[in-house]
């Protein structure tokens, strides 16, 4: 309650809400103390009897204090009803995530069944070139590749395993030797102390040698010639220059000098692709389902968990398909029945013969089986199973696939009474209770239940139709009668208490009766207790009518004891009790029972109440005017 008041003040004064609440509390306490102190009440009465400015001032202060206290009490009661309404909705009849998860572990999520999927495959031989890294390139993509670069193989397989590389063939004699690839190699280190050059004439300059050679001088160097590995030789000078500027030496070197030695023929052959024959399984796209007939029997079963009821159901499916191979070749047809939950009593018949257990395989979220189909062959597939679900049910077609004939029929039956549990929910279902699921097309034919316990029929005729929608329905929810009506009643209670207080104040003023703060607060509290009591009685008394009668009688008795015993048998007492009865009996019925079937009826009944109160106030005003005129005429 404190948090509610604080939130209301934040909307007005923002971050200063705690200070405003503290200041308002102080003003309320001071006003209440002044109104309850006998000396202040005697002083105010004497001043108003003498009249004059002082009387007007003191009277105004007394009225303001009474308004502050009265308005605060009424606002506290109204705010408390708002808080209790939200708390009631949270704890009574609301579905929590924990309970929802617990129910789904038993009944499953909403059942959304996909149409039977049929895919046709053929197997072909194909020539590919397989590389050492596992790549397989079709032959048509390598037409420009020369035969010398290929290694032939007659291996036939899926192409997943890498075969051993065969011995390379010798290159034709006319083919020039392949130039070794250009690959820069690091220079070997120079000898730290080369041997002294022999005496003799200097050898002629040698041609450009590989960068930083490490091999000894070739035999046959003339006596006295300077070996090329000496610094004073041209080759040695080139080596020293390469040390100082290696990049220039690399750029100036002839092609092939700085490369590794040519690789062996076996290494070259290992990089060549292998020519292979493989078998490829390829899908043949076609609209294979010719006709379809789907029948679903659905039985509602509302399951209690916590303080709420969850919409569960059990279904029995019968699916009949006619499948045709529309291609001109024999295919391997693969059938897939989607499955994401338990299917009880699952039976699959192909041309009247039941599939064996070993013929079925669960793969990729579906029960799958295969069979060969010749061109133009038709087979009839009949599937039946039982499954459960929650909230809504849906059947999903292949998108935009047109069928020659297709019909879906759903029969929805109400929840029946068992030896352990009573029947819940509507027993005679109609189109007012069931609506299409989100994104689903409406039924082409709807037959309301003929009587209680009979099924409601929804049918979809999709002959020669192409659509991306599916078919399905959202099932009606069930809430306890007491929780349903009491929750709405508590949501409308704050307005009711304001209307009651306003009606009492206006009627007392028109009757010439002084507005007593204590009487007003007492009657408001009695009306407030009516709402709180009915909220707690719904947990004890299953029937909302029983809770309503008990709480209403207790509230009227509490108000009557004060009014009739304290005021006597006066008209003011009688009309006060009449107003209390109107707001205890008529107002709740207008916003609950009558409004449960139609919002228009609820609004109409409230309008009748407002017009009745206005007419009553007008009659009291006319009677007061006539009384004043008679008193003036007699005086």
**Which of 465, 488, 566 is closest to 523 using CA atoms?**
566
Please state, in angstroms and rounded to a whole number, the distance separating the CA atoms of residues 333 and 345: 25
Secondary structure letter of residue 427 according to DSSP:
S
Distances (CA, A) of 182 to 178, 211, 430, 590: 12, 14, 85, 97
Q: What is the pLDDT of residue 28?
A: 65
At 628, list the tokens.
Answer: 């004043």
Question: Looking at the DSSP assignment, which residues form a beta bridge with residue 118?
Answer: 335
**Residue 18 has what pLDDT?**
65
Which residues face 129 on adjacent strands? 137, 275
The helix/strand/coil state of 385 is strand
Spatial separation of the C-alpha atoms in residues 132 and 134, rounded to whole Å = 5
Q: Which residue has the tokens 């005017």?
A: 625
> What are the average pLDDT values for consecutive 10-residue runs of the chain, which has 635 residues?
56 64 68 71 76 76 73 72 69 70 88 93 85 76 53 41 43 46 46 47 46 46 51 53 50 42 48 78 90 94 80 94 93 93 92 90 92 94 94 90 90 85 82 85 90 91 87 83 73 85 86 80 90 82 81 92 87 91 90 55 83 91 85 78
Instruction: Please give the pLDDT value at position 174.
Output: 45
Rounded Cα distance, 196 and 151, in Å: 55
Token pair of 372 as six digits = 């060969």
Set out the domains of the chain in order of their start, with CATH numbers.
1-91 (no CATH), 109-120+284-474 (2.60.40), 479-635 (no CATH)
Whose tokens are 């499953």? That residue is: 108
Q: What is the DSSP-derived secondary structure letter of residue 13?
A: H
Taking CA atoms, 276 is separated from 154, 158, 291, 442, 490, in Å, by 6, 10, 43, 56, 80
**CB burial of residue 319 (10 Å; 0-12, 13-18, 19+):** buried
Q: Cα–Cα distance between 449 and 428 in angstroms, integer?
A: 6
Q: Is residue 322 a contact partner of residue 350, using CB atoms and an 8 Å limit?
A: no
- State the angle between helix axes of 481-510 and 517-537 in degrees (0 to 180), rounded to the nearest 10: 170
Q: Is the pTM of this model over 0.85?
A: no
């Amino acid at each position: 309650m404190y948090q509610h008041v604080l939130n209301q003040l934040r909307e007005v004064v923002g971050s200063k809400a705690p200070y405003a609440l503290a200041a308002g509390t102080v003003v309320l306490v001071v006003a209440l103390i002044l109104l309850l102190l006998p000396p202040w009440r005697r002083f105010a009465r004497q001043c108003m009897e003498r009249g004059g400015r002082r009387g007007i001032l003191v009277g105004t202060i007394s009225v303001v204090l009474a308004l502050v206290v009265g308005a605060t009490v009424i606002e506290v009661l109204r705010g408390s009803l708002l808080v209790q309404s939200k708390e009631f909705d949270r704890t009574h009849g609301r579905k929590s995530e924990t309970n929802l998860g617990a129910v789904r572990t038993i009944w499953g999520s909403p059942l959304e069944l996909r149409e039977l999927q049929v895919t046709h495959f053929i197997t072909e031989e194909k020539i590919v070139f397989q590389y050492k890294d596992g790549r397989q390139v079709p032959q048509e993509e390598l037409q420009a590749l020369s035969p010398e670069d290929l290694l032939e193989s007659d291996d036939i397989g899926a192409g997943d395993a890498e075969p051993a590389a065969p011995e390379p063939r010798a290159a034709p004699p006319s083919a020039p030797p392949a130039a070794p690839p250009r690959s820069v190699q690091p220079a070997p280190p120079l000898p730290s102390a080369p041997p002294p050059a022999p005496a003799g004439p200097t050898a002629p300059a040698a041609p450009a040698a590989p960068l930083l050679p490490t091999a000894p001088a070739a035999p046959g160097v003339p006596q006295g010639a300077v070996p090329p590995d000496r610094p004073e030789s041209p080759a040695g000078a080139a080596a020293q220059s390469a040390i100082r500027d290696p990049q220039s030496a690399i750029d100036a070197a002839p092609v092939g000098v700085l490369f590794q030695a040519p690789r062996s023929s076996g290494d070259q052959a290992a990089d060549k692709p292998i020519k292979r024959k493989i078998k490829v399984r390829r899908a043949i796209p076609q609209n294979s389902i010719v006709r379809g007939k789907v029948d679903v029997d659905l039985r509602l079963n509302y399951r209690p968990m916590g303080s709420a009821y969850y919409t569960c159901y059990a279904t029995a499916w019968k699916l009949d398909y006619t499948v045709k191979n529309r291609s001109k070749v024999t295919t391997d047809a693969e059938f897939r029945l989607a499955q994401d939950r338990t299917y009880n009593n699952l039976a699959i018949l192909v041309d009247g013969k039941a599939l064996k257990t070993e013929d079925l395989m669960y793969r990729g979220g579906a029960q799958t089986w295969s069979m060969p189909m010749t061109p133009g062959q038709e087979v009839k597939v009949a599937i039946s199973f039982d499954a459960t679900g929650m909230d809504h049910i849906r059947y999903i077609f292949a998108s935009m696939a047109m069928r020659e004939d297709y019909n879906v029929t759903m029969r929805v039956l109400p929840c029946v009474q068992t030896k352990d549990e009573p029947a819940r929910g509507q027993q005679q279902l109609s189109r007012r209770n069931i609506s299409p699921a989100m994104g689903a097309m409406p039924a082409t034919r709807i037959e309301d239940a003929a009587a209680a316990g009979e099924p409601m029929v929804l049918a979809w005729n999709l002959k020669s139709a192409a659509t991306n929608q599916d078919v399905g329905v959202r099932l009606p929810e069930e809430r306890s009668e007491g929780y349903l009506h009491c929750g709405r009643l508590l949501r409308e209670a704050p307005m009711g208490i304001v209307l009651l207080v306003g009606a009492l104040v206006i009627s007392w003023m028109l009757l010439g009766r002084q507005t007593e703060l204590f009487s007003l607060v007492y009657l408001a509290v009695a009306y407030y207790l009516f709402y709180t009591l009915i909220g707690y009685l719904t947990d004890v008394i299953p029937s909302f009518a029983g809770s309503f009668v008990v709480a209403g009688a207790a509230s009227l008795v509490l108000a009557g004891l004060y009014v009739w015993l304290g005021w006597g048998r006066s008209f003011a007492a009688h009309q006060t009790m009449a107003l209390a009865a109107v707001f205890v009996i008529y107002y709740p019925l207008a916003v609950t029972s009558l409004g449960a079937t139609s919002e228009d009826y609820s609004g109409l009944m409230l309008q009748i109440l407002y017009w009745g109160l206005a007419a009553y106030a007008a009659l009291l005003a006319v009677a007061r005017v006539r009384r004043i005129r008679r008193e003036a005429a007699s005086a």
